[in-house]
C-alpha cells in the first residue's frame, strides 16, 4: 500500500496552489524514496516538476510504485478544508487505484475529516529534461521576484532578462513605454534571503512570457529564495526549494526573434 | 516580433 503522513498540511496546500493553475491534471508518481509530479501547461510552453522526498513526511510507506492521476481542482477543494497545522494522511491501494484517501487530523486530535478523491486517467507526454550547464544563475528573494513579475506585467506581456557580470536586468515594454528593473549582486550578505547573487559564465539575454512567470510565483510561500537558471536559446528554470526535502522547478520556453 | 517556442522543441518526449 501507499501511505504518507505529513505533519504540516500547510505544505501540501502550498504545493498544490503552486501547480494547480498551470497543470489541471497531474500524475503523482510515488515510489519508496519520494513523490514526484511532472506536468505541462496545455500549450506545452511551461512545465512544472515537483519532488518531495520521503524525509518530508512523518511516516512514509510505499510498497510498490504507484501513480496517482490527480485532478488538482478536486484535490484543492479537499485541502481548502485543511488548516495549515492539520496533519494530512494520503492513502492509496497498490495496484491501479481508482481513488485516493485523504485524512485530515487537527493538531489537538479532536477533529478528523476524511475524503476520497476519484483519480483520473491522464494521457500525457512525460519529457526527459537533460542535465544542462547553465550560463547564469541568479539567486534572489522570492518575494522580490514575484514583485518584479507583477510590476512589469503592467507594461508588457513579456520580460527580457539580461545578465551581465554584476547585475540582472528585467525589462518590459509596450504601449505605455519601457520599464527596466536592475538588481545588483549584493556586496555584503546580511540576510541570505534578501541578497542577490549573480553567478555568470556567459552573458545571457532572453525573453519570456510574463503570464507564465506570474503563475510560477504562486510558489513564493514555499521558499524565501528563488533561483533562476538561464542559457541562451534554452528554457529558463525557476526553482523553489522545499526545505531540504525537495523542490518545485518550473521550465519556460523562451520567445525567440522571428 | 518574437515567437513563443514550445518546450518540446528543447526537451524530448520520453
Please report the pLDDT score of residue B11 as a whole number.
92
DSSP bridge partners of A206: A161
Chain A residues with beta carbon closer than 8 angstroms to that of B5: 45, 253-256
Residue A65 backbone dihedrals phi, psi, to 5 degrees: -60, 135
Please report the pLDDT score of residue A93 as a whole number.
92
What 3-state class would DSSP assign to A170?
strand
CB of A234 less than 8 A from some CB of B = yes
Q: How far apart are CA A149 and CA A164, in angstroms?
A: 19
Write the residue in B2, B9, B11 that is nearest to A128 by C-beta: B11
Placement of cell 516538476 in the chain: A49
- Would the CB atoms of A258 and B2 count as touching at under 8 Å? yes
C-beta contacts of A38-43 below 8 A and 24+ residues apart: A38/A126, A38/A127, A39/A124, A40/A124, A40/A125, A40/A127, A40/B7, A41/A212, A43/B6
ipTM above 0.90, yes or no: yes
* Mean pLDDT confidence for A54-78: 95
Please report the pLDDT score of residue A213 as a whole number.
98
Residue A146 makes CB contacts below 8 A (sequence gap 6+) with A217, A220
- Would the CB atoms of A256 and B5 count as touching at under 8 Å? yes
B13 → chain A, closest CA residue: A127
Placement of cell 524565501 in the chain: A224
Q: Which whole-number Å values give the CA distances from A126 to A11, A65, A95, A130, A233, in the listed order?
A: 25, 17, 21, 13, 21
What 3-state class would DSSP assign to A35?
strand
Res. A252: pLDDT tops 90: yes
Res. A58: pLDDT tops 80: yes
CB of A126 less than 8 A from some CB of B = yes
- Would the CB atoms of B8 and A258 count as touching at under 8 Å? no
* Mean pLDDT confidence for A158-179: 95
What 3-state class would DSSP assign to A242?
coil
Between A131 and A253, whose confidence is greater?
Answer: A253
pLDDT in tens, A11-48: 999 999 999 999 999 999 999 999 999 999 999 999 99
A158 → chain B, closest CA residue: B2
Chosen for mutation from B7, B8, B12, B13 (greatest number of chain A CBs closer than 10 Å) is: B7
pLDDT band per the 50, 70, 90 thresholds, residue B13: confident
Q: How far apart are CA A126 and CA A37, in angstroms?
A: 10
Calculate Rg over the CA atoms of chain B: 9
Please report the pLDDT score of residue A3 as a whole number.
97
- Would the CB atoms of A235 and B7 count as touching at under 8 Å? yes
- Would the CB atoms of A126 and B14 count as touching at under 8 Å? yes
Chain A residues with beta carbon closer than 8 angstroms to that of B14: 125-128
CB of A128 less than 8 A from some CB of B = yes
What 3-state class would DSSP assign to A239?
strand
- Would the CB atoms of A128 and B1 count as touching at under 8 Å? no
Please report the pLDDT score of residue A187 as a whole number.
84
A108: left (phi over 0), alpha (psi -120 to 50) or beta: alpha
- Would the CB atoms of A46 and B6 count as touching at under 8 Å? no
Amino acid at each position: 500500500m501507499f501511505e504518507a503522513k505529513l505533519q504540516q498540511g500547510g505544505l501540501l496546500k502550498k504545493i498544490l496552489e503552486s501547480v494547480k493553475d498551470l497543470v489541471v491534471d497531474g500524475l503523482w508518481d510515488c515510489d519508496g524514496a519520494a513523490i514526484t509530479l511532472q506536468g505541462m501547461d496545455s500549450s506545452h510552453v511551461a512545465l512544472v516538476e515537483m519532488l518531495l522526498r520521503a524525509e518530508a513526511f512523518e511516516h512514509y510507506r510505499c510498497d510498490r510504485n504507484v501513480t496517482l492521476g490527480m485532478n488538482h481542482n478536486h484535490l484543492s477543494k479537499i485541502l481548502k478544508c485543511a488548516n495549515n497545522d492539520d496533519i494530512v494522511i494520503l492513502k492509496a491501494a497498490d495496484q491501479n487505484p481508482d481513488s485516493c484517501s485523504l485524512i485530515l487530523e487537527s493538531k489537538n486530535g479532536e477533529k478528523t475529516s476524511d475524503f476520497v478523491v476519484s483519480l483520473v486517467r491522464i494521457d500525457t507526454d512525460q519529457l526527459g529534461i537533460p542535465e544542462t550547464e547553465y550560463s547564469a544563475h541568479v539567486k534572489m528573494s522570492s518575494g522580490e521576484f514575484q514583485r518584479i513579475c507583477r510590476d512589469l506585467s503592467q507594461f508588457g506581456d513579456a520580460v527580457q532578462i539580461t545578465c551581465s557580470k554584476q547585475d540582472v536586468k528585467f525589462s518590459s515594454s509596450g504601449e505605455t513605454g519601457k520599464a527596466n528593473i536592475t538588481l545588483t549582486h549584493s556586496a555584503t550578505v546580511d540576510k541570505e534571503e534578501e541578497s542577490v547573487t549573480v553567478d555568470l559564465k556567459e552573458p545571457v539575454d532572453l525573453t519570456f512570457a510574463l503570464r507564465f512567470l506570474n503563475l510560477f510565483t504562486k510558489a513564493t510561500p514555499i521558499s524565501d529564495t528563488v533561483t533562476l537558471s538561464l542559457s541562451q536559446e534554452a528554457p529558463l528554470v525557476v526553482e523553489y526549494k522545499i526545505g531540504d526535502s525537495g523542490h518545485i522547478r518550473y521550465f519556460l520556453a523562451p520567445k525567440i526573434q522571428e | 516580433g518574437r515567437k513563443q517556442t514550445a518546450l518540446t522543441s528543447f526537451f524530448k518526449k520520453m
